[in-house]
Amino acid sequence: MNNYVMYKLFYCHEYLQVMTAASYWSLLNPAIEMAEHSGFYGDKGQWAFVPVAIGFVFGAAFVYGADIFMPYLVREKRNCTFTYPL
């Protein structure tokens, strides 16, 4: 394997793990705790993961759909970096 493949396999996988952990501890875990304390999802909150999982799936579908749809919004292919005059 060349160096680029090794870089993608090792370093990008590390970033994915960090972002997954950050999204869990900052978004998903508090949402599960709120659903547990609401009393709507079982006597002891055993079904509290259901609304969070549904929201997670809808969010992932939205991001995927936006990723597919965004190229159709750009009429011509050009560099989309913004530069500010100094």
Cα–chain center distance at 52 = 13
The 8-class DSSP code of residue 46 comes to: T
Q: Which two tokens stand for residue 34?
A: 């709120």
**pTM of the complete model beyond 0.85:** no
Kindly report, residue by residue over 29-75, the tens digit of the pLDDT: 999 999 988 888 888 888 999 999 999 899 889 988 988 888 777 76
* Domain-wise residue ranges, the chain: 3-72
pLDDT tens digits for range 5-16: 666 666 666 667
